[in-house]
Amino acid sequence: MRWRPPWLKNRISLLIMVVVFVIIVIDRAVTQADRSSYIQPLTITLYEWTILLSAFGLLGGGLNIAIVHLRRIQDGATDWVLSLILLVVLTMVLAAGLLDSEGTASPLLGWAYRHLIYPVQSTLFAILAFFLAAAAYRYLRISHPGGGWMLAGALSMFLIQMPISQSLLSARLHNVSIWLLEWPVMAAMRGVLLGTVLSLLVVTIRYFVSQR
């Protein structure tokens, strides 16, 4: 195979990216009537490729996890038992999906999700509030004057938005909190989002041309 210099490879990637970007922008810009004629089939194909690529990425990810943890077990790395447990569970869940004729709709997989994965995830995120409070207390107390105000503000918003608060607090206060969230907070959020997405586009181009 003929060797190509890296800059040429980068230029080809950049060209492909620019072409795809232009196609997607045109698809978003034109009206529905124009879109259905010639651009839409092309963009649908591109989106399908993205989904396929992501599916391939997930499949590859599963394989990568298996290989990395097999190596850890082989090398007797620290806490290799955890890797062994991970591999056993991975194999069991995979087998449950593959051996059942219903595939991903298999009742056994459904049970694993409902009774194992969701409760574990909920538990993890439920204790996050305590971790956040403890970490904020330990860190902000030491080094950041005024950090407590931020914490109090965050907790106030948390309190106002709780279901029980809606019945206890006055309707006016509730409406004020909704107004805060829907106007100033949303406006700031969208501004930041737009700015960051534009900067990320620049970063992406820099990635392809490999410049700092």
Partner 1 sequence: MMWYRSIAVIESDWHEMLDYSIEAGDSPLLDLGISDNILNGMIGLLALKHLAPSGQHPLAHCILTAGGGSVMWLWALADAQDMYPVDRLTSTFTGVDPATHMASLTTHMGPGGRSDWAPKAAMTGLPIALRWLIFPQMEPSAISPWQALPLTISIERPLMDLPHRYEIKSQPIPLSTLSASNVAPKPSADESDFWLIGSALIMCLLIVLVALWG
Tell me how long the chain is.
212
Alpha carbons 27 and 43: distance in angstroms, whole number: 7
What is the rounded CA–CA span in Å between residue 203 and residue 146? 34
- Which residues, in sequence order, are CB contacts of 26 under 8 Å at separation 6+? 39
Binding site for partner 1 (CB under 8 A): 53-54, 56-58, 60-62, 64-65, 68-69, 71, 78-79, 82-83, 86, 120-121, 124-125, 128-129, 131-152, 154-155, 158-159, 162-164, 189, 196-197, 199-201, 203-204, 206-207, 210, 212
Q: Which is nearer to partner 1, 43 or 207 (CB)?
A: 207
Residue 41 near residue 66, CB atoms below 8 Å = no
- Spell out a b/e string for 41-77, using b for 16 or more CB atoms within 10 Å of the CB, else e: eebeeeeeeeeeeeeeeeeeeeeeebeebeebeeeee
- DSSP label at 163? H
CB of 95 to partner 1, least distance (A): 19
CB closer to partner 1, 36 vs 122? 122
d(CA 177, CA 149): 17
Eight-state DSSP code of residue 35:
I
User: CA 83 to CA 74: how far, in whole Å?
Assistant: 10
- Residue 178 or 200 having the CB closest to partner 1: 200
What minimum distance in Å lies between the beta carbon of 36 and partner 1?
A: 27
Q: Smallest distance from the beta carbon of 10 to partner 1, in angstroms?
A: 11
Smallest distance, partner 1 to C-beta of residue 21, A: 11
Toward partner 1, which CB reaches closer, 154 or 173?
Answer: 154
Least Cβ distance, residue 6 to partner 1 (angstroms): 9
Between 111 and 139, name the residue whose CB sits nearer to partner 1: 139
